[in-house]
Chain A
Amino acid sequence: MRWLSCIFWLGLKEVMSLRRDWVMMALLLWSFTLAPIMEATGVANSVNNASIAFADEDNSPLSRALAQAFFPPEFQPVVQIQPGSGPAQMDAGRFLFVVAVPPSFEKDLRAGRVPEIQVMIDATAMEQAGIGANYITSILGAEIRRFAVGTDLAAPPPVDVILRSAFNPNRDTVRFAGIVALIGQIMWLTTILTGAAMIREREHGTIEHLLAMPLTPFDVAVAKIWANAMVVLIAAALSLAFVMQGALGVTIAGSKVLFLLGTALFLFTATALGVFLATLARSMAQFALLVMLVVLPMLMLSGGETPIEGQPDWLQIGTLVLPSRHYMSASQAIVFKGAGVETVWPELLWMTLLGGALLAVSLLLFRRSVAQDR
């Protein structure tokens, strides 16, 4: 009981200190309001405003109709370029896609000679090239078919494929980017707040002062962990309600409480990481460098920025030990797909186990570093 009361009052001190630290308060405010809004609205569909050129050697009504078939927001207006100049223009990075229509394309088509249109794609633009090529192929195909229907060249296809985008029928990117941004901010902020609180205590010499009292390093660390975790959890809840649902109009398919429960479990990991890095770093500046080296990869590999399926097989197995991956996956299931506990419990269990283990190791290391210090 006495022990709990000490931890409670020490933690309360953390909250009071944080309230007076206007730099951290500003960072907190920015991270949970403007930063996710900017991230969410700044990202467009992967094919957006794509630059496209036509090298038209046919110049027939059909080839002109093809060039008219590309519209914003996916495509910029088609630019007509000199036949043969496509490669040089692409080298200079002026166009992502160049469509080459051969001479007498329309005539050959009418004669049933199956003419060929070449679509040159800048395959160094990974995010746009693949999907963009699909778009262009289907736009050109549809346009040619429409032309052909009038000329009796084509019959309707025997099998049609109806594509349905589950959970996100309008292919809305704001919702996805917004939630991923929020998760990223939770991770950055928790690690930075907890670690900075530890280091500040050491740099100001107050840690010795605390340890000369009937407190253990464990108490000091636990107090910081609960206080900072609570602050982040409240900020995340407010951000979810007012920024995500309010400002960005994100619909949350599942239970908000479940999402916050997942967040709370993840905070074990993030705070433990803060304690761990603060143990390694000798100064605030070293801590700042370390945070970037550790948090950035954890976020990049969590499956928020790019799908887990894109990682090499060995890495997919390796990232299973990243609590951030489980958090990301559980959050996506809850927020986008409306998953319940019955679906996400394995992820929650993973997070609890991994976070708990990391926390235990960090606390042990922290105690050792306090003993060896000075």
Chain B
Amino acid sequence: MSAVTSGPLCRIAGVTHEYRGHIALDDLTLNLPTGRLVGLLGPDGVGKSTLLGLIAGAKKLQIGAIDVLGGPIDNLWHRRKICPAIAFMPQGLGRNLYAELSVRENLEFFSRLFGQGSEERDMRITTLLQATGLAAFADRPMGKLSGGMKQKLGLCCALIHDPKLLIMDEPTTGVDPLSRRQFWALIAAIREMNPELSVLVSTAYMEEAESFDWVVAMDAGRVLFEGSPDTLKGPAKELETAYRALQARGQPRPEPDTIATRKVETDPVITAQGLTRRFGDFTAVDNVAFSINRGEIFGFLGSNGCGKSTTMKMLAGLLPASAGEATLFGKPVDARNRDTRRQIGYMSQAFSLYGELTVLQNLELHARIFAIADRRDRINELMSRFGLEAHGDMLAAALPLGLKQRLSLAVAVIHRPRVLILDEPTSGVDPEARDTFWALLAELSRQEGATVFVSTHFMTEAERCDRVSFMHAGRVLAEGTPADLIAAENAESLEEAFIAVLEAAAPPEKVVAPQASLDEIDHRSGGSGARILAYARRETVEVLRDRVRLAFAFLGSAILMLVFCYGITLDIDELNFATLDLSQSPESRAYIEEFSGSRYFTPTPPLTTAADGRRRLISGDISLVIEFPPDFGRKLRAGEPTEVLATVDGAIPFKGETVEGYVAGLHQTFMNTLARNSGSHQPEIARIEPRFRYNQSFESIAAMAPAMPAILLIMLPAVLMAVSVARERELGSVINFYVTPTTRLEFLIGKQIPYIAIAFANFLLLAGMTIVVFDVPLKGDPVPLAIGALLYVWATTSYGLLIATMTSSQVAATFATAIASVVPTIQFSGLLQPVSTLELGAQTIGSLWPSSYFLHLNVGVFTKGLGWEALGPDILALACFGPVLTALAAMSLRAQEK
């Protein structure tokens, strides 16, 4: 271990990283010291996350070299060796955690990944939960935790294996100031306990960086500054100012105009009284009251999930209130009143314009919707005022974040609203762009008299508001001008005032560093098996708690089985037919009787003309017309050859041919009867005796019911499997596979085990339905069938894995897997066309497709009553697919992000 801790923590030399032509890191060279708290500073999109991902080994290095803990990170052996010494908390609260799993289950999963024994696991989890104050919430699903709690859980999961290097990407974004302060206190306590621990963290809150040992300021993929925070700050009052100066390439910039807060006359435009919103048993907004005056900038300050957005949506008429009342211009907010909405400009939290439209098209669309008379002029005016002229034809998605926010604001004000409701308009935007944005807001408020209701979690922005309201856990804790609030709490800054108010409302728990005496514990390091089981156990819990996927797994197969078996029956009977009997003789009536009496045909009123017959064939009312010539009876009696004309509806080829077969058969029966009765003709010279094997009564269902599982047991398990892998990638939890000692095979097999079990349960369900619902008896030996089915679902889930490794989203995985499993099964496995009748090429493909063997096996056991001897080859063939496909999936799975 000594080799690991000596020397710099991390050497970065000439690293460049690109995403589809966009440069995230630009020839970056940097050394980071060991045993320190190192911070990367900068707004969104400067390359912080990319750099942290590369250091953690989550991303694949493109150009340059990075040494971490004494060895190159792009060396697989070194990476596997140091993996247990690194912990990585990616950006986004709880992004690497599992929302359906409880707090304890999340921790248990991470503990198992690092092979801890149950005694060690319990000890560590208990210690961590107590230290972070999460013990009371151990059984709550992670998805239902508050932002601050998610962040603590993420930290616990990162610390469970005693890392030497803790990497955290923006751990405090969106968390309230009190939780943030507690978080840093916890980190400090942990570092005190464990001085060897190096912490590498990124943040967009410049003020946080003051307590770091070492800071690296970044901009546009380059390093602007590295050193101690004091050096960075220099003469500037705040780090943010210093950063801004650096960003401007050393040119000093004036401090932003602080908009003088001023007294606004009491003229309420927006009011709320006892406003409450409940979602189920959760109260998001609890009895909130305020009143905003004309022309005022009113700020809402609070963490993610404190109820800011919900309150704003209620005011914008997007969400009805559970209780209380909100008014706009003295009238109650009514979601159905379009005219009130004409007076509001609303900008929601995320950038919510159409990225696939250009700047101009976005403006145009909104101008059209509001039917603005002077559309052209208004758009031109806004374009120039918001500095968008140069970007008119750019796609909105391609704009930098700051411009996007400006475009959003331009769109929100296009109809000259008197009230602006802006929900966290500037999160993630760099300080420079935030200033521009606030300057525009001030202009709108001061010059046009617009009332602005804005929410934020930046203190610097809150300071620019005329009045501020502190919100926490659904309640408004305090309200007033920034100066009054600071004075009331006797604080130095607005942040301190907020923290004081929060502490008064909910006294924080004491922060203690987790202390565990693990010396006496047996450090049993579980191997591969333990990690596979950890994934399998977690996947099982997740899928059991996801109702849609569970319903798809079981109801889906049952419904499709019913539909396919009842829908694809090919037994056609009781077809309507009509006759055009120009002969009206006993002979023609006897002939008709032969048809009417059979189960295949049902007579309908006779026809009078040939045109009538054609008309009824066209309308689909009948499928067959039998026409007798006028001399039919006479000729037959005289022994002269005569004929019957049978016109069959051939529009549906299969149906037409089947009807022709029926006609030929009934004609023959008539001839035989005729011969027997008259005795004049020898009935036949040789008999041709068809024997329908396996399915004597020739019922569709006996063939169809055992054939359907072959397609259902490839489609559903493969889709579920592919979705589960793609989902992990889409939600971001796949990062745990990248940065923990999990190998590709462990990850894949662990995830696969629950789906093999689900698919096998599905097989039993389908087999049960075949016997009970469709009344098809099981004639053969069930043992080879069960073994074959297990091997088959192994193969089909592996196929899903393979496809998932090649697709990027859940939707793509679903459709690609569905098509790629259904099409070959229908074309080549013999489902509709038996394998023996396929062309050679198709037969070869069929022999490389698992469904061919399972189809033969299932139909063989159910309908043909075959045993081991005939089924052995199928089972042997099926046994090959699973391992080969899993191996292929492992080969094509990326072990790192691009």
Asked if A pairs with B, the answer is: yes
Please tell me if the beta carbons of B688 and A46 are within 8 angstroms of each other in the complex: no
Please tell me if the beta carbons of A310 and B571 are within 8 angstroms of each other in the complex: yes
Q: Which residues 136-194 of A have a CB within 8 angstroms of B?
A: 136-138, 140-141, 144-145, 148, 153-169, 171-173, 176
Chain B residues lying within 8 Å of A163, measured Cβ to Cβ, are 646, 648, 660, 663-664
- Check A257 for interface membership: any CB of B closer than 8 A: no
Please tell me if the beta carbons of B369 and A158 are within 8 angstroms of each other in the complex: no
Inter-chain CA distance A214–B686, complex, in Å, is 84
Chain A residues lying within 8 Å of B859, measured Cβ to Cβ, are 124
**Which residue of B is nearest A340, CB measured?**
B618
- Check B257 for interface membership: any CB of A closer than 8 A: no
Q: Which residues 17-52 of A have a CB within 8 angstroms of B?
A: 17, 20-21, 23, 42, 44-51
Given A114-B686, A206-B352, are A309 and B574 also a contact pair (CB < 8 Å)? yes
- Check B5 for interface membership: any CB of A closer than 8 A: no
Chain B residues lying within 8 Å of A50, measured Cβ to Cβ, are 837
Instruction: Give the distance to chain B from A93, nearest Cβ to Cβ, in Å.
Output: 6
Q: Which of B318, B574, B695 contacts A124 (CB 8 A)?
A: B695
Please tell me if the beta carbons of A20 and B548 are within 8 angstroms of each other in the complex: no
Q: Which of B346, B642, B691, B703 contacts A126 (CB 8 A)?
A: B703
- Check A57 for interface membership: any CB of B closer than 8 A: no
The segment from A233-241, A331-339, A351-359 that touches chain B is: A331-339
Q: Which residues 837-881 of B have a CB within 8 angstroms of A?
A: 837-839, 856, 859-860, 863-864, 866, 870
Given A160-B643, A176-B653, are A127 and B833 also a contact pair (CB < 8 Å)? yes
Please tell me if the beta carbons of A49 and B838 are within 8 angstroms of each other in the complex: yes
Please tell me if the beta carbons of B687 and A6 are within 8 angstroms of each other in the complex: no
Chain A residues lying within 8 Å of B319, measured Cβ to Cβ, are 374
Please tell me if the beta carbons of A158 and B642 are within 8 angstroms of each other in the complex: yes
Please tell me if the beta carbons of A116 and B686 are within 8 angstroms of each other in the complex: yes
Please tell me if the beta carbons of B353 and A206 are within 8 angstroms of each other in the complex: yes
Chain B residues lying within 8 Å of A374, measured Cβ to Cβ, are 310, 313, 318-319
Instruction: Give the distance to chain A from B285, nearest Cβ to Cβ, in Å.
Output: 12
Given A13-B357, A124-B702, A311-B569, are A293 and B560 also a contact pair (CB < 8 Å)? yes
The segment from B187-195, B247-255, B360-368, B521-529 that touches chain A is: B360-368
Count chain A CB atoms within 10 A of each CB in B421, B617, B651, B836 and give the residue with the most.
B836
Please tell me if the beta carbons of B371 and A91 are within 8 angstroms of each other in the complex: no
Please tell me if the beta carbons of B556 and A329 are within 8 angstroms of each other in the complex: no
Instruction: Give the distance to chain A from B270, nearest Cβ to Cβ, in Å.
Output: 15
**Which residue of B is nearest A335, CB measured?**
B651
- Check B320 for interface membership: any CB of A closer than 8 A: yes
Please tell me if the beta carbons of A204 and B352 are within 8 angstroms of each other in the complex: yes
- Check B386 for interface membership: any CB of A closer than 8 A: no
- Check B338 for interface membership: any CB of A closer than 8 A: yes
Please tell me if the beta carbons of A109 and B686 are within 8 angstroms of each other in the complex: yes
Inter-chain CA distance A288–B722, complex, in Å, is 12
- Check B236 for interface membership: any CB of A closer than 8 A: no
The segment from A224-232, A266-274, A297-305 that touches chain B is: A297-305
- Check A94 for interface membership: any CB of B closer than 8 A: yes
Please tell me if the beta carbons of A212 and B341 are within 8 angstroms of each other in the complex: yes
- Check B413 for interface membership: any CB of A closer than 8 A: no
**Which residue of B is nearest A293, CB measured?**
B556
Chain B residues lying within 8 Å of A145, measured Cβ to Cβ, are 685
Please tell me if the beta carbons of A130 and B365 are within 8 angstroms of each other in the complex: no
Please tell me if the beta carbons of B832 and A154 are within 8 angstroms of each other in the complex: no
Count chain B CB atoms within 10 A of each CB in A49, A51, A124 and give the residue with the most.
A124
Inter-chain CA distance A171–B661, complex, in Å, is 14
- Check B592 for interface membership: any CB of A closer than 8 A: no
Please tell me if the beta carbons of A208 and B348 are within 8 angstroms of each other in the complex: yes
- Check B677 for interface membership: any CB of A closer than 8 A: no
Please tell me if the beta carbons of A91 and B572 are within 8 angstroms of each other in the complex: no
**Which residue of B is nearest A92, CB measured?**
B870
- Check B19 for interface membership: any CB of A closer than 8 A: no
Given A131-B661, A288-B815, are A16 and B361 also a contact pair (CB < 8 Å)? yes
Q: Which of B567, B647, B691 contacts A301 (CB 8 A)?
A: B567
> Mask for B686-706, Cβ within 8 A of A = 1, else 0?
111111111110101011100
**Which residue of A is nearest B563, CB measured?**
A297
Q: Which residues 202-234 of A have a CB within 8 angstroms of B?
A: 204-206, 208-209, 211-216
Please tell me if the beta carbons of A93 and B856 are within 8 angstroms of each other in the complex: yes
> Mask for B540-553, Cβ within 8 A of A = 1, else 0?
00000000110010
Instruction: Give the distance to chain A from B627, nearest Cβ to Cβ, in Å.
Output: 9
Instruction: Give the distance to chain B from A135, nearest Cβ to Cβ, in Å.
Output: 9
- Check A128 for interface membership: any CB of B closer than 8 A: yes
Please tell me if the beta carbons of B644 and A159 are within 8 angstroms of each other in the complex: yes
Chain A residues lying within 8 Å of B509, measured Cβ to Cβ, are none
Given A159-B642, A301-B563, are A165 and B549 also a contact pair (CB < 8 Å)? no
- Check A315 for interface membership: any CB of B closer than 8 A: yes
Q: Which of B310, B316, B395, B810 contacts A285 (CB 8 A)?
A: B810
- Check A317 for interface membership: any CB of B closer than 8 A: no
Could you tell me how many residues of chain A have their Cβ less than 8 Å away from some Cβ of chain B? 127
Given A96-B837, A158-B642, are A13 and B365 also a contact pair (CB < 8 Å)? yes
Given A46-B654, A160-B644, are A285 and B811 also a contact pair (CB < 8 Å)? yes
Chain A residues lying within 8 Å of B686, measured Cβ to Cβ, are 105, 109, 114-117, 144
Please tell me if the beta carbons of A168 and B835 are within 8 angstroms of each other in the complex: no
Please tell me if the beta carbons of B571 and A297 are within 8 angstroms of each other in the complex: no
Inter-chain CA distance A91–B661, complex, in Å, is 26
Please tell me if the beta carbons of B653 and A309 are within 8 angstroms of each other in the complex: no
Please tell me if the beta carbons of B700 and A310 are within 8 angstroms of each other in the complex: yes
Please tell me if the beta carbons of B636 and A159 are within 8 angstroms of each other in the complex: yes
- Check B684 for interface membership: any CB of A closer than 8 A: yes
Q: Which residues 378-436 of B have a CB within 8 angstroms of A?
A: 395, 421
Inter-chain CA distance A19–B225, complex, in Å, is 44
Chain A residues lying within 8 Å of B623, measured Cβ to Cβ, are 309
- Check A121 for interface membership: any CB of B closer than 8 A: yes
Please tell me if the beta carbons of A121 and B691 are within 8 angstroms of each other in the complex: yes
Q: Which of B348, B641, B839 contacts A209 (CB 8 A)?
A: B348
**Which residue of A is nearest B421, CB measured?**
A212
Inter-chain CA distance A96–B548, complex, in Å, is 42
- Check A78 for interface membership: any CB of B closer than 8 A: no
Please tell me if the beta carbons of B648 and A297 are within 8 angstroms of each other in the complex: no
Inter-chain CA distance A292–B711, complex, in Å, is 14
Inter-chain CA distance A173–B661, complex, in Å, is 17
Given A17-B357, A91-B870, A171-B656, are A114 and B647 also a contact pair (CB < 8 Å)? no
Given A160-B644, A292-B818, are A45 and B618 also a contact pair (CB < 8 Å)? no
Please tell me if the beta carbons of A16 and B356 are within 8 angstroms of each other in the complex: yes
Given A91-B866, A128-B833, A288-B815, are A176 and B651 also a contact pair (CB < 8 Å)? yes
Inter-chain CA distance A5–B575, complex, in Å, is 52
Chain B residues lying within 8 Å of A121, measured Cβ to Cβ, are 690-693
Please tell me if the beta carbons of B650 and A9 are within 8 angstroms of each other in the complex: no
Inter-chain CA distance A21–B650, complex, in Å, is 42
Inter-chain CA distance A368–B639, complex, in Å, is 77
- Check A258 for interface membership: any CB of B closer than 8 A: no
**Which residue of B is nearest A155, CB measured?**
B681
Instruction: Give the distance to chain B from A226, nearest Cβ to Cβ, in Å.
Output: 16
**Which residue of B is nearest A27, CB measured?**
B815
Instruction: Give the distance to chain A from B177, nearest Cβ to Cβ, in Å.
Output: 26
> Mask for B625-651, Cβ within 8 A of A = 1, else 0?
000000000001001011111111111
- Check A361 for interface membership: any CB of B closer than 8 A: no
- Check B652 for interface membership: any CB of A closer than 8 A: yes
- Check B655 for interface membership: any CB of A closer than 8 A: yes
**Which residue of B is nearest A106, CB measured?**
B686
Instruction: Report the 7 A-B pairs with minimum CB-CB distance, sorted nearest first.
Output: A165-B650, A285-B810, A212-B346, A288-B814, A168-B650, A123-B695, A123-B692
Q: List 13 A-B contacts (CB under 8 A).
A: A16-B356, A16-B357, A123-B692, A128-B833, A158-B639, A161-B646, A165-B656, A168-B653, A171-B656, A171-B657, A208-B346, A285-B814, A286-B548
A residues sitting closer than 8 Å to B (CB atoms) are 2, 5-6, 9-10, 13, 16-17, 20-21, 23, 42, 44-51, 76, 87, 90-96, 105, 109, 112, 114-131, 133-134, 136-138, 140-141, 144-145, 148, 153-169, 171-173, 176, 196, 204-206, 208-209, 211-216, 281-290, 292-293, 296-297, 300-301, 305-307, 309-312, 315, 329, 332-333, 336-339, 343, 371, 374
